[in-house]
Amino acid sequence: MPVRPLRRIGISSGERLHDQVDAALFHSPYGATLTNEIEDEHPELIVRDGENVLAAFARGGTAHLVYGFENERAFADRFPAMFEKLLPKARRAIAPDDLRFRLAYAPARPLVEPVLKRLWFSPVRDWLGFTLERGAKLPAASPRGATFRDATAADIDELLRLDRGAFPDTPLTREGMLAALREGEAIMATVGKHAAAFCTFSMTSPLDGYIHVVAVDDAQRGRGIGTALTVRACKRQFAAGARRIELTTDDSNGAAIRMYLSLGFRQMSAGRDYTRPAHPKAIARLKRQSQGTLIRFGGWR
Ligand SMILES: CC(C)(COP(=O)(O)OP(=O)(O)OC[C@H]1O[C@@H](n2cnc3c(N)ncnc32)[C@H](O)[C@@H]1OP(=O)(O)O)[C@@H](O)C(=O)NCCC(=O)NCCS
C-alpha cells in the first residue's frame, strides 16, 4: 500500500469538531452540521486518543459514527478501544437500536473491515455518492396529473407506506420518519387523491444540501414524478444557499442512478455502510450464533 503523508489534526482553540475530523487522513464523510451538532448537544459522545477522534450522532434510532484517524493503521490500532469507550455513553445518551459506520474510502477496506467485523459490525449496503453543483441546468419537470406540496407530520402514515413500498428491506421506523421531517424538509406528490411519492432532504452544512430519500409508488413510476421531486428538492436547496447537493444510492439501483445522471449529478464517491446492534443481548446472540458455526464446522469458514 502506498505511504501517504500524514496530516496533523491537532486541536487548536476555535477549531470545531468537523474541522478536526475533516483534517484527518482517514475520516467519516458527514457534513459540518451533523458533526458539529455532537459538540453542541452531546460533547460527552466525543472520544479522543492522541490525534484520533471518534463520536456519534443519532438519527432515527441509529447512532452514526463520526471518525477522524491519522491513517488507516491508526484506525486499526485505536478504534476498538475508543469504540468500547464510546458505546456505553452512546447507549445512555441516545439509546440507539443500532450503530452505523460509513466507509467512504474504498482502498481502506482490507484493513478496516476485519476490525469492524471483530466488533460485530456487518456490511449492510454498498453505495455510490453523487454530487450536483450549483449552476446545473435543471428541467422544469411537471408531470401531468401530479401535484406537489410540502409534507408534514400529519402525512406520516402515507409517507411510511410509500417508504415501505420503495425500500421493503430497510423501511424507516415511525421515529425515523418523524426525525427526518423534524430535521429537514419533505415534498410530497399526489395523483388524484392518493399520495404517490415523496422526497426528503436537508442541509448538512450552510453550503451543502443532501437528498435523503426519493420514493415513488410502484404504480406511478416511469412518468417523471421521481425527476420532478428531485428537481424541486434541488432548487429549494440551491435557493437556500447550497453550493452543491449530494446523495447516495445503492450501487445496484440502476433506475435511481440513471435518473440522477440524467439530471446532471456526477458520481464522486463510493463506499460501504456497516451496521451493528447496540443492545448487549443482540450482541450476545450474535456471539452464540458464531460459536454455533464454529462448533458445527470445526473452525471459521
Ligand atoms: C428511482 C425512482 C425514484 C425513479 O422514480 P420515477 O418517477 O420512476 O422516475 P422518472 O419517471 O422521473 O424517471 C427518470 C429517469 O430515471 C430512469 N429510470 C426510471 N425508472 C427506471 C427503470 N425502471 N429502469 C431504468 N431506468 C429508469 C430513466 O433514465 C428515467 O428517464 P427516462 O424516462 O427519460 O428514460 C423510483 O424508481 C423509486 O421510487 N424506486 C425505489 C426507491 C429508490 O430506489 N429511490 C432512489 C434512491 S433514494
Residue 81 predicted with pLDDT over 70: yes
Alpha carbons 103 and 112: distance in angstroms, whole number: 9
Residue 7 predicted with pLDDT over 50: no
* Band of pLDDT at residue 176, cut at 50, 70 and 90: confident
Q: Give strand pairing partners of 32.
A: none
Task: Confirm or reject: Cβ of 252 under 6 Å from ligand 1.
Answer: no
Q: Give strand pairing partners of 188.
A: 149, 198
3-state secondary structure 174-194: HHHHHHHHHHCEEEEEEECCE
CATH fold for domain 132-273: Aminopeptidase (3.40.630)
Task: Confirm or reject: Cβ of 256 under 6 Å from ligand 1.
Answer: yes
Q: What mean pLDDT is predicted for residues 154-165?
A: 97
Residue 9 predicted with pLDDT over 60: no
Residue 301 predicted with pLDDT over 60: no
156-166 vs 174-183: helix axis angle to the nearest 10? 110
Q: What's the length of the chain?
A: 301
Alpha carbons 263 and 279: distance in angstroms, whole number: 42
Q: What mean pLDDT is predicted for residues 109-117?
A: 97
Q: In terms of DSSP H, where are the helices of the chain?
A: 17-23, 32-41, 72-94, 109-118, 156-166, 174-183, 225-239, 254-262, 280-297
Q: Which atom of ligand 1 is nearest to the CA of 256?
A: 1
Name the average pLDDT for the chain. 91
Q: Which atom of ligand 1 is nearest to the CA of 167?
A: 42
Residue 197 predicted with pLDDT over 60: yes
Ligand 1: centre distance to CA 229 (Å): 11
225-239 vs 254-262: helix axis angle to the nearest 10? 50
17-21, 175-179, 276-280: the lowest-pLDDT one: 175-179
Ligand 1: centre distance to CA 189 (Å): 15
pLDDT tens digits along 250-269: 999 999 999 999 999 999 99
Alpha carbons 218 and 176: distance in angstroms, whole number: 22
Question: In which residue are the cell numbers 435523503 written?
Answer: 212
Dihedral sign from CA coordinates of 258, 260, 262, 265: negative
Query: Which of 199, 213, 206, 207 lies closest to 141, judged by CA?
Result: 199
User: Which of 7-16, 58-67, 221-230 is predicted most confidently?
Assistant: 221-230
- Counting Cα atoms < 13 Å in the Cβ hemisphere of 112 gives 24
Task: Report the nearest-CA residue for atom 9 of ligand 1.
Answer: 226
pLDDT tens digits along 19-28: 999 999 999 9
Task: Give the predicted TM-score (pTM) of the model.
Answer: 0.85
* Band of pLDDT at residue 56, cut at 50, 70 and 90: very high
Q: What mean pLDDT is predicted for residues 49-67?
A: 94
Ligand 1: centre distance to CA 149 (Å): 20
* Band of pLDDT at residue 285, cut at 50, 70 and 90: very high
Q: Which atom of ligand 1 is nearest to the CA of 262?
A: 29
Percent of the chain at pLDDT exceeding 70: 92
Alpha carbons 93 and 112: distance in angstroms, whole number: 27
109-118 vs 72-94: helix axis angle to the nearest 10? 40
Task: Provide CB contacts within 8 A for 290, sequence distance 6+.
Answer: none
Ligand 1: centre distance to CA 69 (Å): 38
- DSSP label of 142: -
What are the angstrom distances between the C-alpha of 84 and each of 45, 64, 98, 102, 172? 12, 15, 15, 18, 27
24-28, 227-231, 287-291: the lowest-pLDDT one: 287-291
Amino acid found at 247: L
- Domain spans of the chain, in order of start: 17-119, 132-273
Ligand 1: centre distance to CA 295 (Å): 46
Question: In which residue are the cell numbers 453543483 written?
Answer: 133
* Band of pLDDT at residue 5, cut at 50, 70 and 90: very low
- What values do phi and psi take at 48, rounded to 5? -120, 150
Ligand 1, residues 212, 221, 231: which to mutate, most atoms within 8 A of Cβ?
A: 221
Ligand 1: centre distance to CA 61 (Å): 28
* Band of pLDDT at residue 13, cut at 50, 70 and 90: low
